[in-house]
Structure 1
Amino acid sequence: MVTLKEIQTAHETIRSAIDLTPCKYSGYLSRLTGAEIHLKLENLQKTGSFKIRGALNKLHALTPAERRRGVIAASAGNHAQGVARAAQKLGIPATILMPEPTPITKVEATTFSGAEVLLRGDTFDDALRVAQTLAKERGLTMIHPFDDPAVIAGQGTIGLEMFQQLPGLAAVVVPVGGGGLVSGIAVALKTLRPSLRVIGVEAEQAASAMLSRQAGQVVELGGIKTIADGIAVKRIGDLTFDLIERYVDELVTVSDDDIAAAILLYMERIRVVVEGAGAASLAALVSRKVKLNGVCTGVVVSGGNIDVQVVAKIIEKGLVRTHRLLRITVQLLDVPGALGRLSTLLGQLRANILQISHDRLTSDLPLDRAIVDISLDTRNLEHQHEILQALDQAGYAPRRRD
């Protein structure tokens, strides 16, 4: 098991090598959720996530012989960067196994820190099995991303910091993948303040902790698919399961749509970039899966390492969902000035054209007609209805595009 004393020792060990990340109050999110929201911004940590804490603590505990032989780790991205950076700092050779679908930004960041990166398998669990085999073959020390007492103690230092930063802290909401983060934070905070409520949040399609709690034993999932790749884990750890059962009050799940909406909310309202796993905690509060009205609540933003292509998709889908992006197809006469008249009408309707495509060659079109696909910047649902009605009355017969 892991104790408060071990977490306090870990903090003394690593504190000079990590950043004391802010715990930022958000009035907007507090009004939106009903809770008193304070964001623990680990996306501002070195390597862009909390993972360097556990990695540093574990590597400091290695013997000189283990350091010379080197270490190996498996990760969906953030643990990889944490181990690579910690190993580089301590002069330890590092080999990192990552799933093949890992975003290129995380692969490049890990390589940049001096580690040897091998892409194997479709999921974290596939990469982990390969790493375990290579560890035995090469005599390397395995740095597990979550099911290790030293790693858990390192992650638990976040709990110590939050306790010091927020004297009135009464609840904390934490993302859950393998369980190392929530376990460490829960041990620290529940030992310091037993009345404090600890809530873990999983992705709906990667809910091993919740299913394990329901079954009374660790459950391994089949296929998993979620935009929150940092918590896309088939099986929580044996040690983390025991700690979760002992210290975590509640487990909830959120959908990918909930997570995407939270990512967009962070960008638009808080002006911070957050990855899927890091947005899970806020997603649970905004979707009302967790209700903490009036309670001083710490929301752990675990990381900000998100692929820009994913960001682009999330922004587009979020704009569609909130009725600020309207994509339509219209037909018009293929004559000079027709496109200009359409543009003028849209301008009068205060609809900003983001993208437009003009096609007169589609085989089933009459010779005197053209198809126009348009993406419009709109204010809200009522504005969209106004635009569609005006286009219809003008004879354009608009059709929405998904």
Structure 2
Amino acid sequence: MATLKTLEVSQAEMATEYLKKILLAPVYDIAIESPLTPCDKISARLGNGNQVFLKREDQQPVHSFKLRGAYTKLSNLPASQRDKGVVAASAGNHAQGLALAAHKLGVTATICMPITTPDIKVDNVRRLGADVRLIGKSFNDAQSASIDIASNEHKTLVHPFDDPDVIAGQGTVAKELLQQNHQLDAVFIPVGGGGLLAGMAVYLKQLRPDIKIIGVEAEDSACLKAALEKGEPTDLEQVGLFADGVAVKRIGQHTFDVIKQYCDDVITVTTDEICAAIKEVFEQTRVIAEPAGALSLAGINKYCQTSQGNEQLAGILSGANMNFHSLRYVSERCELGEQKEAVFAVTIPEEKGSFKRFCQSLGSKVITEFNYRFVGKEQADVFVGVKIGGTQERKALCQKLNEQGFVAIDLTDNELAKLHVRYMVGGPNPNSAQERLFRFEFPEAPGALETFLETLGELWNITLFHYRNHGAAYGQVLAGFEVDNDEQLAFFRHLKALGYKWQEESQNPAFKAFLSK
């Protein structure tokens, strides 16, 4: 009994100390009180009386909440330690926050960053005057280097999350949140190393014990989930790098000690679900959240699939330092995450009219992608994307295709298919002597593909077909045909009758190098 009582007193003292640190944190010397944005579009989509709000930490001077913890830590350092400079490891946002905080306080900062860090974050840190050293492929590699530098160069190590002052600085987000809406039912907080979750949870639970605190992790970087299952921080074998801001192999010890006491649940989300959330954030706010920044909304979306509704839900939009080139990937994956698109591998007979019969079997559904390359005389394997209305409709469509004589395999949850195979359907045509290649612009309207197949597909064998819907007025299509020399005049007459803009690409060097014998 004495041991339990001592433990209870220790936990109470820890919570009180954090509360004091949060209330006294001098973050507003450099940070702003970020707005809490009502998300009417998202709330309407979720329905069931739910109201969604986003705490806009993307509006901070470095477009991330990390500035709060970094400045709090530096402000509390003795002058003797400040004079020797500080060092930190970071995937990017802590680096930018620390660099700006150091600049504000006149402190020299050295930042160790993984070589995988997006250029936008590296450039911003250098622009703020910090010495950037790109080391290793993961946060852990950079962290080890920062520890060595701290020892060898007598600098103070500023940990990105596992430090009481940093945790307290991040906790100021919770202080603002309750002032802006004290009636919240649940708060969704992104988790990397756990600094934001720990700081916010210890504050919120002391003032509102009834509020639900839910951590949200990327499925491929779920170090908190692993720690909770084992009962202590544990190393993941590897982490995914898409959500680089939360790509942490091991939860912090200080953060875990707080989180295990005050966090009610942890939700993990897939890459596709994160991409869908990035799209939703943009449609609601016209801000492009970075993957880690959109985690909380992805968690809200997943939570609302099973919740009772009529709740006020807040998510922390923790950052907007998106690498611009990642947008191509996000665009490809967001509708899969929204359960609005499914992708299938379908085997169809290699005969004239089979494409048309396959399209007719899809009914009125919009085809978003169609990849095909002739490989033999008996059957054809097609990679196809289709707009759907949810998981049940996807399963029903797969069953329908198989019942109608096709062999259909659902690849919607197959990472290899979505990441690589969709771009690799093809190879040289073994019978390419009479093959002609054309690029078309299809109007994005119902029946456009069927019109194409009726005009050309039943008269000439289609040897290649690639189409991807990108939401524009016209879709880009690449198609190949077997056209004998004595059929060329008739073929071009049908091309003219089709009425679509086209251009022949039979002599294109890319076609000759990869798709033609």
Band the TM-score falls in, shorter-chain normalisation: 0.7 to 0.9
Q: SS at the partner of 1:47?
A: coil
Q: SS at the partner of 2:126?
A: helix
Structure 1 regions of 5+ residues with no counterpart?
332-361
- For the Cα contact (< 8 Å) 2:273–2:334, is it kept in 1? no
What is the CA–CA distance in structure 2 between the aligned matches of 1:82 and 1:211, rounded to whole Å? 28
Structure 2 regions of 5+ residues with no counterpart?
1-13, 342-365, 374-427, 469-517
Percent identical: 38
For residue 387 of structure 1, the aligned residue among 442, 448, 452 is 448
For residue 273 of structure 2, the aligned residue among 252, 258, 268 is 258
Paired position in structure 2 for 1:150: 165
Amino acid at match of 1:393: E
- For the Cα contact (< 8 Å) 2:147–2:157, is it kept in 1? yes
For residue 310 of structure 1, the aligned residue among 314, 326, 343 is 326
Change beyond 3 A, Cα 1:400–1:47: same
- For the Cα contact (< 8 Å) 2:276–2:335, is it kept in 1? no
Within a 5 Å distance, the mapping from 1:42-53 to structure 2 comes to 42-53=57-68
Within a 5 Å distance, the mapping from 1:85-104 to structure 2 comes to 85-104=100-119
Deviation at 1:298, TM superposition (A): 1.2
For residue 210 of structure 1, the aligned residue among 200, 204, 225 is 225
For residue 372 of structure 1, the aligned residue among 429, 433, 438 is 438
Change beyond 3 A, Cα 1:236–1:180: same
Change beyond 3 A, Cα 1:330–1:85: same
What is the CA–CA distance in structure 2 between the aligned matches of 1:157 and 1:373, rounded to whole Å? 56
Paired position in structure 2 for 1:280: 295
Change beyond 3 A, Cα 1:126–1:369: same
Paired position in structure 2 for 1:237: 252
Paired position in structure 2 for 1:343: none
Matched, 1:179 2:202: no
Deviation at 1:189, TM superposition (A): 0.7
Within a 5 Å distance, the mapping from 1:116-195 to structure 2 comes to 116-195=131-210
For residue 43 of structure 2, the aligned residue among 23, 30, 34 is 30
Amino acid at match of 2:316: V
> What RMSD, in angstroms, separates the aligned Cα atoms of the two structures?
2.3
What is the CA–CA distance in structure 2 between the aligned matches of 1:371 and 1:329, rounded to whole Å? 14
Q: Please identify, of 363-372 and 263-272, the stretch whose mean Cα deviation from structure 2 is larger.
A: 363-372
Q: Please identify, of 67-76 and 317-326, the stretch whose mean Cα deviation from structure 2 is larger.
A: 317-326
Within a 5 Å distance, the mapping from 1:281-360 to structure 2 comes to 281-288=296-303, 291=307, 293-318=309-334, 322=340, 326-328=368-370
- For the Cα contact (< 8 Å) 1:38–1:298, is it kept in 2? yes
Paired position in structure 1 for 2:20: 5
Deviation at 1:325, TM superposition (A): 8.4
What is the CA–CA distance in structure 1 between the aligned matches of 2:467 and 2:238, rounded to whole Å? 31
Change beyond 3 A, Cα 1:236–1:387: same
What is the CA–CA distance in structure 2 between the aligned matches of 1:292 and 1:114, rounded to whole Å? 50
> How far does the alpha carbon of each residue in 1:215-269 deviate from its partner, in whole angstroms, 9 at most, with x for none?
1111110111141110110000011111110010001100011101111121234
- For the Cα contact (< 8 Å) 1:330–1:372, is it kept in 2? no
Amino acid at match of 1:313: Y
What is the CA–CA distance in structure 2 between the aligned matches of 1:116 and 1:15, rounded to whole Å? 25
Amino acid at match of 2:294: A
What is the CA–CA distance in structure 2 between the aligned matches of 1:325 and 1:17, rounded to whole Å? 50
Larger Rg: 2
Deviation at 1:88, TM superposition (A): 0.5
> How far does the alpha carbon of each residue in 1:112-149 deviate from its partner, in whole angstroms, 9 at most, with x for none?
00000000011111100110011000000000000000
Paired position in structure 1 for 2:6: none
Q: SS at the partner of 1:48?
A: coil
- Relative to the length of structure 2, the TM-score reads 0.67
- Relative to the length of structure 1, the TM-score reads 0.85
Matched, 1:249 2:310: no
Deviation at 1:330, TM superposition (A): 8.7
- For the Cα contact (< 8 Å) 1:178–1:237, is it kept in 2? yes
What is the CA–CA distance in structure 2 between the aligned matches of 1:184 and 1:375, rounded to whole Å? 53
Change beyond 3 A, Cα 1:320–1:8: closer
Deviation at 1:186, TM superposition (A): 0.5
* Count of paired positions: 365
Change beyond 3 A, Cα 1:20–1:136: same
Amino acid at match of 1:66: Q
Deviation at 1:365, TM superposition (A): 6.8
What is the CA–CA distance in structure 2 between the aligned matches of 1:60 and 1:272, rounded to whole Å? 31
Change beyond 3 A, Cα 1:189–1:319: closer
Q: Specify which structure has the bigger relative contact order, considering alpha-carbon pairs within 8 angstroms and separated by 6 or more residues.
A: 1
Change beyond 3 A, Cα 1:376–1:311: farther
Q: SS at the partner of 2:456?
A: coil
Change beyond 3 A, Cα 1:216–1:290: farther
Matched, 1:109 2:132: no
Q: SS at the partner of 1:235?
A: coil
Amino acid at match of 1:53: R
What is the CA–CA distance in structure 1 between the aligned matches of 2:45 and 2:313, rounded to whole Å? 13
Q: Please identify, of 195-204 and 28-37, the stretch whose mean Cα deviation from structure 2 is larger.
A: 28-37
